[in-house]
Structure 1
Amino acid sequence: MSQPLPLPEAEDAPVTLPRTAWWDMPAGTDPARRHRAYLAWPEAPPPPAGYPVLLVLDANAGFGAAVDSYRALTWRNTPGRPAPALILGLGHPGGAAYEPAARQRDYTPALPGTDPAASGAAAFLGFIETALLPALARRQPVDMGQISLFGHSLGGLFALHALLARPGLFRSLVIASPSLWWGEGAMLDAARRFAARPPAAAAGTRLLVTVGGQEESDEGPRGAIRAARRMIGNARELAALLRGAGLAVEFAEFPGEDHGSARLHALIRAPRFALPREGDPA
């Protein structure tokens, strides 16, 4: 029988990743709410225009995996590897991997007849553009034309909102297992309207839409919920809509992966997809 681990000794210290840091920022005008930014930077100096950036939502859960994915791709001098870049995570203070109330508030857009304070995606996107990215630029040289976004689940829904609300803000978006069932499919309807008249500002945006192959499995106690949410079907439809709008869209389904494990596979793929390759023209 396994024994419990001993209590930490006085000289024990938390494990930290090299070349990383974090800082907290006020979340709007509410003094009780704060966001936590996580940053990882490379050993290599920045390109002349500054570092490209991959912004990862739900960073309390995914920052470490994103950093490891990027560094695994770049530690050898292999052709086509991602260029020196910053991994910027956005999460919340505290040790929990997820904060459900904050995710619901920050990642979901307001719908007609709903409380804007409960669905604050517009304010959250404004925070990223007017507060987070300038704070990053005060710390590291940043190429503001090479900012990419990763979001999973409700974070994927927010990434779609960012594309529709601020086309051109992000060079690339990884929309992983997006919760397109939310709001009775309101964001998928919004994507249809976007695709019917794509704005000029969206030209050149690259998208990777991913989903797990088991996300519609009807097995187990949540099988009926998974089937009703149509995660795979909705993700495929979204990719087709945006491709039809003239955007450069890739779609990936991860066989055998559920909603949780598909997040890790998307994080592994994100740096190679979203970041420019070393040696590419600026």
Structure 2
Amino acid sequence: MPVLRHLLLGIAAVSFSYALPTAAQPAQQNGRQIERVQAPSIADQELATYRFESFTLSSEDGKRHYKIEVGIPKRPAPATGFPVIYMLDGNAALTNIDTTDLTAMDALSPTVLVAIGYDINGSHDTTARAYDYTPPVFKDGVEQKEIEVRGRIGGGAAEFLELIETRIKPEVDLRAPTDHSRQTLWGHSYGGLFTLYTLFTRPELYQRYVAGDASLWWHDGFLVTDTFTHFDRSKALGKKIRLMEGGNRSKSRSASDSRAQWSAKDIVRDLQMDGVDISYENFSELHHGQMLRASLKPALRLAATPPQ
């Protein structure tokens, strides 16, 4: 395992300059901050093992616009359907998947890839994801509206979770038969925050959760100090949960309340005490941006791994 990990780290470090820094450039589209991407994604290639379909939709209020790419194995589906991985920041995710990943997944279990992205010419719609991926905030039982962190409005995770369940998943199932007992959710940064929000509020929706460098610091660590403290740990039993961090981060970066001084490692330790199948890994050699690729690779393999 140490050899494999060092190999993965080497690949991530070398290829990161191709996948992110040289390709992503801040830009504006219709008043929104967009990070541009120049590199083609796996969905743009002719592949022996996968074909891709896409569809678009908009949020109920018409403010956010999504493009969902669905990678469907070119194999007969099992009787129970294909396992499936739902990936947040789908535009960026697809540029960090290569044919080696698809081959490795095919050897385990052909898996449907669902990249939930934004209908933009770029890797991230930073305005939209700041809303979609961050949890609603409550004070004295009342939801606080127009929560602003770092100049962006947040708090829309409950709405976005409903959109995935009621509009995205049914559309995916029309395109490829999926096994609802083998669903994985992956996210990085704010996407990692959303992944943990889903686990702590609707754990039954997925069987496997992978969060890379989750932004636990958001709104003084509200997800930990409020949502996690009310989480029924027994509902995580039987799940497989993997948390990863880079740069040897240890505590929430901007939390002023001492109760918010939690890291992903603390969450893992707390849940392990309750018998939850959850693990933590720190990639101290990698910075925050590189953790997108570093956490996505094992998530793909976890999604394809047959149940034991």
| Fold match (TM-score > 0.5) | yes
Q: Are residue 153 (structure 1) and residue 189 (structure 2) matched?
A: yes
- By how many angstroms is 1:82 displaced? 2.4
Inter-partner Cα distance in structure 2 for 1:69 and 1:153: 24
Partner residue of 2:56? Answer: 24
For the 8 Å contact 2:252–2:262, the answer to whether it is kept is no
Match of 1:164 among 200, 211, 222: 200
Distance 1:129 1:109 in 2: 16
Change in Cα spacing, 1:233 to 1:24, as seen in structure 2 (3 Å) is same
Which string of whole-angstrom CA distances, capped at 9 and with x for unpartnered residues, describes residues 194-245 of structure 1? 46x4244x321110000113546xxxxxxxx986579x96111121122223
Distance 1:145 1:101, change over 3 A: same
Q: Which residue pairs with 1:209 in the alignment? A: 243
Contact in 1 for aligned 2:224/2:262 (Cα 8 Å): no
Q: What is the letter of the counterpart of residue 132 of structure 2?
A: D
Residue in 2 aligned with 1:236?
Answer: 265
Kindly state the Cα deviation for residue 192 of structure 1 after the two structures are TM-superposed.
4.4
The within-5 A match list for 1:76-225 is 81-112=107-138, 114-115=144-145, 118-190=154-226, 192-194=228-230, 197-200=232-235, 202-215=236-249
The 10-residue stretch of structure 1 (18-27 or 152-161) with the greater mean CA deviation from structure 2 = 18-27
Aligned length: 250
Q: Secondary structure at the match of 2:110?
A: coil
Structure 1 residues 48, 264: closer, same or farther in 2, change over 3 A? same
Residue 257 in 1 paired to residue 293 in 2? no
Counterpart code for 1:213: G
TM-score computed with the length of structure 1 as normaliser: 0.80
Q: Which has the higher strand share?
A: 2
Q: RMSD across aligned C-alpha pairs, in angstroms? A: 2.7
Letter in 2 for 1:203: L
TM-aligned CA deviation for residue 42 of structure 1? 1.6
Alpha-carbon distance in structure 1 between the residues aligned to 2:154 and 2:254: 24
Q: Is the 8 A contact 1:207 1:248 kept in 2?
A: yes
What is the TM-score normalised by the length of structure 2?
0.73
Provide the residue aligned with 1:10 in structure 2: none
Q: Which moved more, 1:148-157 or 1:33-42?
A: 33-42
The answer to which of 30-39 and 174-183 deviates more is 30-39
Distance in 2 between residues matched to 1:271 and 1:174, nearest whole Å: 10
**Number of the residue aligned with 1:267:** 296
Change (3 A) 1:67 1:146: farther
Bigger relative CO (Cα 8 Å, ≥ 6 apart): 1
Q: Residue 148 of structure 1 contacts residue 171 of structure 1 at CA under 8 Å; is this kept in 2? A: yes
Structure 1 stretches of at least 4 aligned residues deviating more than 4 Å after TM superposition: 225-230
* 1:36/1:69 CA distance change after superposition, 3 Å: farther
3-state DSSP class of the match of 2:55?
strand
Query: Once the two structures are superposed, what CA deviation does each residue of 1:134-156 show, in whole Å capped at 9, x if it has no partner?
Result: 00001111111211100100100
Larger radius of gyration: 1
- Distance in structure 2 (CA, Å) of the matches to 1:193 and 1:214: 25
Q: State the percentage of identical aligned residues.
A: 27
Amino acid at match of 1:178: A
- Does the CA contact (< 8 Å) of 1:149 and 1:173 recur in 2? yes
Alpha-carbon distance in 1 for matches of 2:77, 2:63: 36
Aligned counterparts of 1:69 and 1:209: Cα–Cα separation in 2: 23
Q: Note the residue ranges of structure 2 that are not aligned, 5 or more in a row.
A: 1-39, 147-152
The 1:244/1:190 distance shift into structure 2, 3 A limit, reads farther
Deviation at 1:73, TM superposition (A): 1.0
Shift of 1:269: 1.1
Change (3 A) 1:247 1:194: farther
Per the TM alignment, residue 53 of structure 1 is displaced from its structure 2 partner at its CA by 0.5
Q: 1:62 aligned to 2:128?
A: no
